[in-house]
Amino acid sequence: MRSLDLPPGSVIITPEQVPDSVYVLKRGLVGIFDKLERLMTIVYREEPFGLEALFGMKSFMHIKALLPIEVETYEPSEFKENLRPNMRLDALRVLSRRLWYVKRRYNLTSEERMRDVIREMLDEGISSGEISAMALNLSVSDALAFERVRGEFGV
């Protein structure tokens, strides 16, 4: 195990590469970004990341320090040897949380929000003309998406 101090902005894992170590965050804050560099979720203290290293898998995450950080790095075999039963459950909980956040994040698509808005407006008895007029406030592409979604409701 080695301990590393890194400044904010340091890229620790780049996408499409097999991480060479498993990391455990000891201090600071680390962000997990997608390919478009959108912040998807964060790593809390004492949590591992770079678990792809255990399986020789490529990572599709972009992981970088949001603050000055201190991490411990482990060779994959060393990390496995150190895992106690409760740590195995913690690792699965951590991954479950990240999965949930990423999924939730992508579920918040504009069209889904538009559906919710239109549904609520219809429930409130707002006329189709007024709903249609909302598209006027939107950008061209969003207005097109809005019209498509509105069509689904037949209004």
Partner 1 sequence: MEEMNVVSGQTIFKDGEKPSFFFLIKDGKFKVGSETFPAGSFVALVEYFLDMEMSSDVVAESDGVIIKYTDSDVSENEEEFEKVLKYAVESLNASLAGSVDKVVVSDLEKSVDVAKLAEIAEEIGEDELLSALEEMVSLQKLPEIPGDPEKAKAVVEMVSKEEDIIKYALHRIAFVKKFPDREESKEYLMEALRTYMDELEDRYGARYVAKLVILLYPDDEIIRDVLRKLVKILRDSKDPEWFEYLERLLVAFPEEEVRIDEIS
Binding site for partner 1 (CB under 8 A): 8, 15, 28-29, 31, 34-42, 44, 51-52, 54-55, 57-61, 66-67, 85-86, 88-89, 91-93, 95-106, 108-110, 113-114, 116-117, 120-121, 134, 137-142, 146
Q: In the bound complex, what is the minimum distance in angstroms from residue 77's beta carbon to partner 1?
A: 13
Q: In the bound complex, what is the minimum distance in angstroms from residue 153's beta carbon to partner 1?
A: 15
- Among 96, 98, 32, smallest CA distance to 60 is for 32
Q: In the bound complex, what is the minimum distance in angstroms from residue 47's beta carbon to partner 1?
A: 13
Nearer to partner 1, 1 or 8 (CB): 8
**Cα–Cα dist 38/35, whole Å:** 7
Amino acid, res. 69: I
**Cα–Cα dist 38/68, whole Å:** 20
Nearer to partner 1, 11 or 67 (CB): 67
Enclosing H/E stretch for 3: strand 2-6
Q: In the bound complex, what is the minimum distance in angstroms from residue 118's beta carbon to partner 1?
A: 10
* Contact status, residue 87 vs residue 79, Cβ threshold 8 Å: no
**Cα–Cα dist 85/4, whole Å:** 26
